[in-house]
Amino acid sequence: MTYKTTLSLLMAATLLVACSDIPSERHIEQALQKQYNDLYPSLIDIQDVKKLNGWSDNDNHYAAEVSYTLEFNKSYQQYLEEKTDQPGNPLEKITSGISVGLLKLQYGDFKKKDQYQIKDETLTFRMTENGWVLVD
């Protein structure tokens, strides 16, 4: 085999691998962490992400069925106090309090280091110019 043929085969193989790329568990974990950080800054760490299943209807969308663990970095009470003690008008403080109150409805009166297991959630990813992005 000539050098050109070998190089051409190597480039074709690389291109095929890049086209069939799907989000890895690490990529899923990073996307989830970003999503939770955007919603609840510095409150939740994502751990133990496991992809249970995955499928794609086309090259631009990928669905991943996953399980993962949330670990709280602060207690509910501490997070509520931080959000309601921030400067702002009364309406902003009420909105923050309601947002944190919804966390309590979903996860209970969590304490620092408490964990909550998400056993089965389907996430949808879209391929962009910058790679796979989690769709809200």
SS3 81: helix
pLDDT tens for the 136 residues of the chain, in order: 655 555 454 554 444 444 448 999 999 999 999 999 999 999 999 999 999 999 998 999 999 999 999 999 999 999 999 888 878 788 888 888 888 889 999 999 999 999 999 999 999 999 999 999 999 8
Q: Residue 107: CA atoms inside 13 Å, Cβ hemisphere, count?
A: 23
Ordered structural domains, the chain, with CATH:
22-73+113-136 (3.10.450.50), 75-111 (no CATH)
Helical residues (DSSP H) of the chain, grouped into ranges: 3-19, 25-39, 76-84, 90-107
